[in-house]
């Protein structure tokens, strides 16, 4: 038995923008114990309430913002929150999570989740306090960027308020628009910013006022939690990655390593290494533009880097951004890449899809597929980055095509094979020919190509927690399934995955047990993650996705011709068959009845 007073508030806020109405509802105990929070709760409510065939930008779609049971406790790296919706870019179930402090302040307001539905006839923002919620007019915020919007709302509601908002990209329904919180933290990928834009919702303000941090999350076993927290902190500091590497160089420390391993994608994945990669590396960032470190709530790692160029300042760029806006476009000018990163953050645009779509356009142009209006969109041309980002956000001219993402862009111009994507989501900064586990992880990710659903790079290249042969394939389906299940649980508690580089998984299941009073072993945590993963798969199946969508672009059937990963290709059919068998799915990628029964799930109809 457990009390909802430990770990959770046991209630959600339902906001109907069509009726300008907000009301609280209880969250059933069964949902909390079976799905925990964050991603899990969001997926459960989406599957129950949004038909799989719903238009992602129509009023029938909903978006769920959710915290986890560790938010507001002393457990490190638990300041995150999750968002779940149906993606306008991929048409799949989609979850994101973001750092900063917004998630903790949402928890301070007394809710475990917020469900946003309907559409407002006018631009509005949601103002949430411990006393309730109000829907306020936002006409004056229309067209403003993330900083101006956040500044205006904090000026109105006080500096203790935290803001999550969209920029012009979301307002203009760019299919890869982000939601940004705390100025420069993103609910990135998949276009959930466009979902808010379609609902005329500019921002969510969580305003706990003087009660902030005075209503901490109740803990069932505080003495046990204290010991676990001490051990987690000790291991974070002892790890070379979390105690030193990320703190000193940030995520961009990976540039030189991935380049040396031959899996740093260049020119739309045409090569895997480049002699100028060090110009946009973590070393270069520290030497040339670094100002200071920044950390999310309750995070001792402090991997964030505040930076300044000759014309701007902000946060980052992170590893994925220097790659997407830099190497993938054949650009190795750190200042140009950083200024493009600043623009994406301020305008509310996903840097990975923005850069990857521009890179796709560059190859289309290289191959003579584009008309004269695209002149100058060439690999290595740094001068086109900022103008193209501005055109994307405004959906102006060629920007209207780019705003649809690489899959739609390449299909329109007759070369769909040049879009480096899975299920419509652009692939991140690891060439799958040099890490076969990553190949399978990309192909089978429920939200499309994503390194964070199962970060096999940790095992295949970093030796965390132990080293795997990156070119072997027989051991990768088991590894991918285990990581997918574990990460689904982690996204539901909601914590930062960087801790996995130094802290064993069972420490966080023990922390959840100490906070909630539930007995959650590492085996149970993986079982919960497996339940979430299969529910997502059921939703995608009902939306029309299956085995054919668990595939990499044709380019990866041909080996790289140079670098440390040359000569290899992932045997996708063999790995996929093994993966489906381990998952308990049919040959077409549909969960079998026995699998559903074991996980306590039921098939989804097309009408949620």
Residue 245 DSSP label: I
pLDDT surpassing 50 at residue 95? yes
List CB contacts of 550: < 8 A, sequence separation 6 or more.
422, 443, 444, 576, 589
What is the mean pLDDT of the segment spanning 111-137?
A: 96
List CB contacts of 456: < 8 A, sequence separation 6 or more.
435, 437, 438, 440, 441, 468, 476, 479, 480, 483
pLDDT surpassing 80 at residue 216? no
pLDDT surpassing 60 at residue 608? no
Joined tokens for residue 185: 């933290």
C-alpha torsion sign, points 459, 449, 181, 91? negative
Q: In the chain, helix, strand, coil percent, each to 5?
A: 45, 15, 40
| CATH topology (fold) of 432-599 | 1.10.599
- Kindly list the distances between the CA atom of residue 176 and the CA atoms of 149, 270, 353, 416, 447, in Å, as whole numbers in the listed order: 20, 23, 7, 18, 13
Report how many helices (DSSP H) and strands (DSSP E) the chain contains, helices first. Answer: 23, 17
Joined tokens for residue 243: 């105690």
**What is the structure's pLDDT at 1?**
30
Joined tokens for residue 100: 């900063």
Residue 131: which pLDDT band, with cuts at 50, 70 and 90? Answer: confident
Q: Which of 206-220, 294-308, 433-447, 527-541 has the lowest mean pLDDT?
A: 206-220
- Kindly list the distances between the CA atom of residue 579 and the CA atoms of 204, 434, 476, in Å, as whole numbers in the listed order: 40, 19, 9
User: What does the alpha-carbon distance between residue 214 and residue 168 come to, in Å, rounded to a whole number?
Assistant: 35
Residue 65 DSSP label: E
CA proximity to 483, closest of 435, 516, 423, 515: 435
Quickly list DSSP for 350-380.
-HHHHHHHHHHHHHHHHTT-S-GGGTT--TT
What's the burial of 577, exposed, middle or buried (CB within 10 Å: 0-12/13-18/19+)?
middle
* Claim: this prediction has a pTM higher than 0.85: yes
pLDDT surpassing 80 at residue 213? no
What is the mean pLDDT of the segment spanning 18-25?
A: 97
User: What does the alpha-carbon distance between residue 519 and residue 555 come to, in Å, rounded to a whole number?
Assistant: 47
The model's pLDDT over 544-578, given as tens digits with 9 standing for 90+, comes to 999 999 999 999 999 999 999 999 999 999 999 99
Given a contact cutoff of 8 angstroms between Cβ atoms, the answer to whether 126 and 201 are in contact is yes
What is the mean pLDDT of the segment spanning 406-410?
A: 98
What is the mean pLDDT of the segment spanning 23-45?
A: 97
**What is the structure's pLDDT at 465?**
81
The model's pLDDT over 173-183, given as tens digits with 9 standing for 90+, comes to 999 999 999 99
The model's pLDDT over 593-605, given as tens digits with 9 standing for 90+, comes to 999 999 999 998 6
User: What does the alpha-carbon distance between residue 163 and residue 126 come to, in Å, rounded to a whole number?
Assistant: 10
CATH for the 247-426 domain, from 3.40.30.10, 3.40.50.1820, 3.40.50.300, 1.10.569.10: 1.10.569.10
User: What does the alpha-carbon distance between residue 579 and residue 571 come to, in Å, rounded to a whole number?
Assistant: 12
Joined tokens for residue 148: 């101006």
**What is the structure's pLDDT at 570?**
98
pLDDT surpassing 60 at residue 3? no
- Ordered by start, the domain boundaries in the chain are 11-211, 247-426, 432-599
The model's pLDDT over 470-528, given as tens digits with 9 standing for 90+, comes to 999 999 999 999 999 999 999 999 999 998 899 998 999 999 999 999 999 999 999 99
Residue 132: which pLDDT band, with cuts at 50, 70 and 90? Answer: confident
CA of residue 191 relative to chain centroid, distance: 11
pLDDT surpassing 50 at residue 2? no
CA of residue 74 relative to chain centroid, distance: 24
**What is the structure's pLDDT at 606?**
55
**CATH superfamily of domain region 11-211:** Aldehyde ferredoxin oxidoreductase, N-terminal domain (3.60.9.10)
**What is the structure's pLDDT at 463?**
87
């Amino acid at each position: 038995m457990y009390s909802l007073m430990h770990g959770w508030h046991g209630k959600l806020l339902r906001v109907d923008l069509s009726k300008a109405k907000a009301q609280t509802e209880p969250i059933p105990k069964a949902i909390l114990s079976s799905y925990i929070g964050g991603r899990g709760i969001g997926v459960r409510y989406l599957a129950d309430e949004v038909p799989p065939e719903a238009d992602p930008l129509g009023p029938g779609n909903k978006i769920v913002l959710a915290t986890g049971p560790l938010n507001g406790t002393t457990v490190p790296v638990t300041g995150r929150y999750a968002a779940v919706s149906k993606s306008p870019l991929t048409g799949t179930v989609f979850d994101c999570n973001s750092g900063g402090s917004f998630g903790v302040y949402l928890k301070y307001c007394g809710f475990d989740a917020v469900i946003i539905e309907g559409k407002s006839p006018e631009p509005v923002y949601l103002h949430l306090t411990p006393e309730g919620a109000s829907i306020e007019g936002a006409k004056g915020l229309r067209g403003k960027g993330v900083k101006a919007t956040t500044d205006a709302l904090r000026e109105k509601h006080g500096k203790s308020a935290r803001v999550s908002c969209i920029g012009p990209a979301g307002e203009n329904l760019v299919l890869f628009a982000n939601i940004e919180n705390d100025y420069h933290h993103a609910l990135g990928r998949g276009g959930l910013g466009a979902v808010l834009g379609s609902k005329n919702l500019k921002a969510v303000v969580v305003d706990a006022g003087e009660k902030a941090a005075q209503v901490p999350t109740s803990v069932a076993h505080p003495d046990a939690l204290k010991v676990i927290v001490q051990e987690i902190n000790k291991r974070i500091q002892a790890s070379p990655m979390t105690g030193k590497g990320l703190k000193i160089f940030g995520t961009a420390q990976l540039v030189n390593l991935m380049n040396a391993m031959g899996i740093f994608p260049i020119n739309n994945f045409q090569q895997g290494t480049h002699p100028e990669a060090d110009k946009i590396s973590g070393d270069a960032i520290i030497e040339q533009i670094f100002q200071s470190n920044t950390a999310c709530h309750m995070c001792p790692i402090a991997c964030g880097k505040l930076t300044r160029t000759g014309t701007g300042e902000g946060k980052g760029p992170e590893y994925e951004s220097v790659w997407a806006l830099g190497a993938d476009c054949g650009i190795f000018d750190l200042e140009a890449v950083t200024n493009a990163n600043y623009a994406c953050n301020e305008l509310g645009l996903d840097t990975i899809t923005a850069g990857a779509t521009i890179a796709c356009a560059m190859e289309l142009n290289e191959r003579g597929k584009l008309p004269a209006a695209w002149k100058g969109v060439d690999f290595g041309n740094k001068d086109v980055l900022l103008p193209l980002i501005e055109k994307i956000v405004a959906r102006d001219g060629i920007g209207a095509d780019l705003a649809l993402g690489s899959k739609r862009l390449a299909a329109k111009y007759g070369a769909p094979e040049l879009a480096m994507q899975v299920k419509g989501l652009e692939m991140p900064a690891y060439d799958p020919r040099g890490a076969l586990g990553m190949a399978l992880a990309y192909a089978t990710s429920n939200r499309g190509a994503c390194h964070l659903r199962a970060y096999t790079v940790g095992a295949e290249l970093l030796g965390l927690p132990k080293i795997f042969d990156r070119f072997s394939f027989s051991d990768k389906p088991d590894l991918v399934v285990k990581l997918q299940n574990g990460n689904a649980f982690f996204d539901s508690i909601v914590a930062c995955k960087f801790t996995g580089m130094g802290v064993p998984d069972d420490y966080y299941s023990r922390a959840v047990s100490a906070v909630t009073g539930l007995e959650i072993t590492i085996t149970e945590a993986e079982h919960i993650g497996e339940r979430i993963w299969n529910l997502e798969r059921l939703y995608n199946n009902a939306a029309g996705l299956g085995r054919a969508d668990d595939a990499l672009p044709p380019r990866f059937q041909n080996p790289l011709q140079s670098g440390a990963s040359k000569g290899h290709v992932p045997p996708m059919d063999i790995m996929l068959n093994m993966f489906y068998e381990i998952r308990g799915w049919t040959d077409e990628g549909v969960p079998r009845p026995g699998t559903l029964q074991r996980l306590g799930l039921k098939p989804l109809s097309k009408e949620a």
